[in-house]
Amino acid sequence: MEKILKSGEGWRLGWNPQAEIYRGLVGSDDWAIELSESELDDFCRLLNQLATTMAQMAEELMEEERIACEAQSDLLWMEVEGYPEAYSLRFILNEGRRGEGFWPARVVPELIAAARVLKVF
């Protein structure tokens, strides 16, 4: 299996199964951080959970109402903030070298789509 790097305007997401420790990569145009396989798995899982929650909240909120939702594992914390159809994403690594990142609402839909298929073989 070969390494994969998906990217778009303002985001990057990568997977390198041959890497010893840090097999994943998340980033933007200006920053990037390598993740362990477990961290990348949690990132993708929590991102999908948050996207699902925001979609479900669309029916519960008034049109102009903003919301913030958090999800976390032992390895990382994530938050989405904004409107159900347009929200930013922030994450913080909880273990080891630590790190954090942020994506504005305009890039989050593409990042979500890429995360859903990154490791589908």
Identity of the residue numbered 80? V
Distance CA 53, CA 31 (A): 27
* Superfamily for domain range 4-117: Transcriptional Coactivator Pc4; Chain A (2.30.31.10)
Whole-model pTM: value is 0.92
Helix axes 37-57, 108-117, angle to 10 degrees: 130
Structure tokens at 19: 């890497």
* pLDDT tens by residue, 61-104: 777 888 999 999 999 999 999 998 999 999 999 988 889 999 99
